[in-house]
Structures are given as structure tokens and as C-alpha cells.
């Protein structure tokens, strides 16, 4: 445990190891970037009385992979769901603060969540293909968003999305078969193809590899590296090696607080906050 607190003005430098005390819950590191795609300011989230996200401010950079890590229940999924208003579907959930996608205030009353969720797509922990053919899984979004004028264009979107998701060569001879008949890793790539098909700007991934074997995981990680050239990606993961492999910045959450943010290699090699250090060295969570 921490001993007596240092005087406020020197609290962060007074300790001999130069780490921020466990009791200090203001964010350390670089929350903001020059080239932000999404900006989140003073975000607070409640489920009824439960304060699940506490005053979180952070940017997500353009063409960046941001990893969100932290112990179970710290609010990673809750915060991720704020980024495309997925929490709107939870009755007890209230979101405060400001979240922008470029200039757009995504919580503005005039914003239609259906196109927003295409712009900010989501891939879930458990692959959840629609009970439809492989083709229809990918074609569904472009159809409802009117992204293709005819069948040829739609075919093209389906093919290019499956190619980008690294699945085309495995499924091009069975596009009419059910998406649910694919392996877990293939289903996850199908869900990624489905998200890409509606030309998103940001892709949110909530533990996308937790149900996959190491080979399928490696495929998805390679895919993330490729997708990053075109998209901005926020990924929640419990796998710190994965965070280190795929992301440029890492955000560490603890009991609803954003404790530390910074360049991934810096956060993992030289965490500035005691709580981050405890977590990445396996002393907590």
C-alpha cells in the first residue's frame, strides 16, 4: 500500500520510483492527438445508479489502432459502445459528455443512429453472422443503406469486402451457403467483412479474438494491420500481447476511470501509473 500522500503539487514526482499513486485517478499520459478521428470529452456513463464510466476524455487518431485494456468490469465494453451509441439500446444506460466523429456530435438529437452505426461499425466478441447465406451477410448492409445501384455493384462490394477480410479464397465457391456453417474464425472474418461492406470510418472490436484459436487469431490480427491503412480501429482485448502487436496507442481503464493512455510500447515498457504497472505485470485482474 501507498504510504502518506505527498503534498498535492509534487504528488506525481515525489515518489522515488516516479510512478503515479494508486489513489490518483486522473488520467496520465497523452489522451489527445493532433489528427483525431474521434474526440471524447468528459464522458460519464451510468447504468441506473452505477457510475460505469467516470469523466473520460480521449481522442482516437486517424488510421490508428487504439487498444483498450483493463480488468473485467472496468468499463471497456461500455466505453466502446458509447462510440457508436450502442448503449442507446440499454434502457437503464445514460451517457453524458461529448463524443464527436470528426465534426459530428454523435449524440446530437438530429443524428440517426442507423447510418451512424454503419460509419462506426462494430465487431463483437462472439461472431454473430445473420442466419442467411455468406453473400447475404455481406450484402445486407449495402442494400439497406442503398450503396449499390444494381446487382453487379453489389457483387463487387461483397467480393471486395470478403477479400479485405481475408476470407474470399475460402468462401468464393460457396457464397450461397449459410454464414453460420463457417468455422469460428471464418465467421469472425465474415462479420468483419459485413462491417467493412458499409464503408465505415471507424471499426470497434470488442474482444474479437477471444473465441478463436491461435491461427484464426493471427489471421484477424494481420487483417487489423491491413485495415488500419483505411480505417480507424478501437479494439478491446484481454490479451496484452495482442494489444502490443496490433495497436499504436493503449488506454488502461480501472473501475470506470481512464488511468493511463500512451504509445503502446511506452505503456507496456514504462507505465507511469502504479495501477497500470500492477495490471500489466499481472498483479491485478
Ligand X SMILES: Nc1ncnc2c1ncn2[C@@H]1O[C@H](COP(=O)(O)OP(=O)(O)OP(=O)(O)O)[C@@H](O)[C@H]1O
**In this complex, which beta carbon is closest to ligand X, that of residue 68 or of residue 165?**
68
Long-range contact list for 76-81, CB < 8 A, 24+ apart? Answer: 76/206, 76/236, 76/253, 77/206, 77/236, 78/45, 78/52, 78/53, 79/43, 79/45, 79/53, 79/253, 80/122, 80/204, 80/206, 80/234, 80/236, 81/122, 81/204
Task: Report the alpha-carbon distance of residue 76 to residue 63 in Å, rounded.
Answer: 20
Nearer to ligand X, 139 or 243 (CB): 243
Whose CB is nearest to Mg ion? 77
Residue 282: count other Cβ atoms within 10 Å of its Cβ. 8
Nearest to ligand X of 93, 192 (CB atom): 93
In the complex, least distance from residue 256 CB atom to ligand X, rounded to whole angstroms: 7
What's the min distance (Å) between Cβ of 48 and ligand X? 7
Give whichever of 77 and 264 is closer to ligand X, judged by the CB atom: 77
* Residue span 40-79 as binding mask against Mg ion, x where in contact by CB under 5 A, dash where not: -------------------------------------x--
The yes or no reply on residue 219 touching Mg ion (CB under 5 A) is no
Nearer to ligand X, 78 or 247 (CB): 78
Asked if residue 134 lies in contact with residue 179, where contact means CB atoms within 8 angstroms, the answer is yes
Q: Which residue ranges make up the site for ligand X (CB under 6 A)? A: 47, 50, 52, 70, 72-78, 90, 92
Give the nearest distance from C-beta 198 to Mg ion in angstroms: 24
CA 15 vs CA 18, 137, 145: distances in Å: 5, 55, 56
Binding site for Mg ion (CB under 5 A): 77
Amino acid at each position: 500500500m501507498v504510504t502518506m500522500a505527498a503534498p498535492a503539487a509534487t504528488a506525481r514526482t515525489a515518489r522515488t520510483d516516479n510512478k503515479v499513486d494508486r489513489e490518483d485517478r486522473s488520467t496520465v499520459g497523452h489522451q489527445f492527438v493532433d489528427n483525431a478521428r474521434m474526440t471524447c470529452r468528459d464522458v460519464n456513463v451510468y447504468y441506473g445508479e452505477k457510475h460505469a464510466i467516470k469523466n473520460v476524455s480521449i481522442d482516437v487518431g486517424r488510421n490508428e489502432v487504439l487498444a483498450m485494456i483493463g480488468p473485467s468490469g472496468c468499463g471497456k465494453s461500455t466505453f466502446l459502445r458509447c462510440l457508436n451509441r450502442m448503449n442507446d439500446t440499454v434502457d437503464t444506460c445514460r451517457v453524458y459528455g461529448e463524443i464527436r466523429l470528426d465534426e459530428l456530435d454523435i449524440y446530437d438529437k438530429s443524428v440517426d443512429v442507423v447510418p451512424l452505426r454503419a460509419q462506426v461499425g462494430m465487431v463483437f466478441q462472439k461472431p454473430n453472422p445473420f442466419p442467411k447465406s455468406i453473400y447475404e451477410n455481406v450484402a445486407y448492409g449495402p442494400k439497406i443503406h442503398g450503396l449499390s445501384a444494381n446487382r453487379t455493384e453489389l457483387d463487387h462490394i461483397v467480393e471486395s469486402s470478403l477479400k479485405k477480410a481475408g476470407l474470399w479464397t475460402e468462401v468464393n465457391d460457396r457464397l450461397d451457403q449459410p454464414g453460420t456453417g463457417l468455422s469460428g474464425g471464418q465467421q469472425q472474418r465474415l462479420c468483419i467483412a459485413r462491417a467493412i461492406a458499409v464503408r465505415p470510418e471507424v471499426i470497434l472490436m470488442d474482444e474479437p479474438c477471444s473465441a478463436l484459436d491461435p491461427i484464426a487469431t493471427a489471421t484477424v490480427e494481420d487483417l487489423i494491420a491491413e485495415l488500419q491503412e483505411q480505417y480507424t480501429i478501437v479494439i478491446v482485448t484481454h490479451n496484452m500481447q495482442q494489444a502490443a502487436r496490433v495497436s499504436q496507442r493503449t488506454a488502461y481503464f480501472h473501475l470506470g476511470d481512464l488511468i493511463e493512455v500512451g504509445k503502446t510500447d511506452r505503456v507496456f515498457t514504462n507505465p507511469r501509473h502504479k495501477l497500470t504497472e500492477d495490471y500489466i505485470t499481472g498483479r491485478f485482474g
